[in-house]
Chain A
Amino acid sequence: MVEAVTLMHRARLIFQDGAERSVEVEAGQTVLEGALAVDLPVRYDCCSGSCGSCVVQCLDGQTVVDLTGKVPVNADELMAGLRPACLTRLNSDASFELPYSLGSAASAPSKHSAQIMELRRGAPSVALLTLKLDRAEDFVFQSGQYIRLAAPGVGEARAYSIASTTRELPLIELMIRLVPDGKMSRWLQEVAKVGDRVKLQAPLGAFGLDDRARRHVFIAGGTGLAPVLSMIRSLRGRGQPALLCFGCTRRQELFYELELAALVAEMPELEVRIAVMEGADGDLRAGTAVSLLQKEDFDAETVCYLCGPPPMVDAARKALTSHGVASQAIRAERFQPGG
């Protein structure tokens, strides 16, 4: 007797606001393809395993992840149930939790034009860029999301997280790591000036606040500060306790110190700890952002947000796990300097 083979499974998608949708995922199809086939507003960007925008938390079911190319999560994260929807196929019905609301106010990604309003250095290797969108009437983003910026003559567009909030629109603030020989880095240092016009695609990504959390812990390395700063700024007025652990490699690479001090003065519920790996003095601690964490920083209603280079994110996840923080209470965005 030949056993009947099921060629189609169902993926149950549970959004942050509790909304649920069930989609058919055919054999060979990815969970993302199944969701997009019925036009669900799921977040995605590259569809090739590099951006991490479509990462979801698997709650149950048998999944197969294509590990042959780029994968935006590491082995620990796969073990913890994180799945890039663009690389995940089903061997059974399965359930997934998505880190944003189905009823999210964020706009669908679209292209925009903008003008440079301000360009300054935060540190020798950090450019702080403020853009003004030509048309922001229908543009809404969620704090934590990123844009793709295209500058004239630079070739490939690059992704940068937004450091400002929707309150500042039509202005958008970016923190850009300047890397040696990077085309965008060179353009920012040698060509770009106030008044120049750029194109961008936005909003992108699924990194964002968990509205169900009562306490927020942010761990940021370098320009990974941008999206968590947007999230912290968007918490203004809510009164929820928040902790930012911010780390830079060297004292002279530290940026945004004064602005963070001003934010703390404005938000008494916010605590900021800063560490540098070299040259610590005064209130600065020696070490990494992760080394600033203490066991007392977490309770059952805390959600942690990580943003920085992949080694920092990996180290932070390990540290949080050792402090007993559940995988579902950790959200991460990996920064790969794009040039």
Chain B
Amino acid sequence: MIPVSRRLQLCEAGNVAPGGMLRVQPEGHDPILVCNVGGKIYAVDDECTHAIASLSEGRLQGNIVFCPMHGGSFDVCSGKAKSLPCKQALRTWPIEIADGKVYLLLKN
């Protein structure tokens, strides 16, 4: 069980169709990329760990998101970098879906 101090609403779960992704910028927080992989929602940092680029402007293929700038890729489920020039993993975020809404869970 993750000790949770607060949760931030990201979007309506229905806003992200299977195979889709959505960039959300909660106030006071770095932008988050909400991805729907086969009906399951994942949340990762939106900014590529390599260059300064928004992954939301790239493409999601299955569970792999491709950066629009250099084509490097990440597994949005694990955050793991899958192809160069990306080497550093993408931060993944715990989420909760309640009442049809996606919440980001923030630890203490």
Contact = CB atoms under 8 A, between A and B. Distances in A.
Interface of A: 32-33, 36, 44-48, 86, 111, 148, 150, 155-157, 199-201
A148 B51 contact: yes
Nearest to A159: B51
A199 B85 contact: no
B52 A47 contact: no
B84 interface: yes
B85 A201 contact: no
A148 B68 CA distance: 15
Q: Which 4 residue pairs of A and B lie closest in terms of their CB atoms, listed nearest first?
A: A47-B85, A150-B52, A157-B52, A47-B84
A54 to B, nearest CB: 10
B87 interface: yes
Contacts of A47: 70-72, 84-85
Given A33-B84, A157-B52, A157-B53, 6 more contacts: A44-B84, A44-B85, A46-B70, A47-B85, A111-B52, A156-B68
A36 B69 contact: no
Nearest to B86: A47
A36 B51 contact: no
B69 A157 contact: yes
A180 to B, nearest CB: 23
Interface in B47-64: 51-53, 57
From DSSP, what is the main secondary structure of chain B's interface residues? loop
Interface string B63-86: 000001111100000000000110
Given A32-B84, A46-B85, A201 B71 contact: no
A36 B52 contact: no
A111 B50 CA distance: 9
Contacts of B51: 45, 148, 157, 201
B72 to A, nearest CB: 7
B71 A48 contact: yes
- Chain B contact-residue range equals 10 to 19
B52 A200 contact: yes
A146 to B, nearest CB: 12
Nearest to A200: B52
A47 B72 CA distance: 9
Contacts of B68: 156
B66 to A, nearest CB: 12
Nearest to B49: A111
Contacts of B84: 32-33, 36, 44, 47, 86
A156 B68 CA distance: 9
Contact of B52 (A33, A46, A86, A148): A148
A157 B53 CA distance: 7
A313 B57 CA distance: 33
A167 to B, nearest CB: 26
A111 to B, nearest CB: 7
Nearest to A150: B52
Specify which of B51, B57, B72 lies most central, judged by the most chain A CB atoms within 10 Å of its CB.
Answer: B51
Contacts of B53: 156-157
A33 B69 CA distance: 19
A44 to B, nearest CB: 6
A156 B85 contact: no
A48 B70 contact: yes
Contacts of A86: 84
A51 to B, nearest CB: 9
A200 B56 CA distance: 19
B72 A201 contact: no
Contacts of A156: 53, 68-69
Nearest to A149: B52
A192 B96 CA distance: 39
B70 A201 contact: no
A32 B70 CA distance: 15
B91 to A, nearest CB: 13
Contacts of A44: 84-85
Contacts of B71: 47-48
Contacts of A157: 51-53, 69
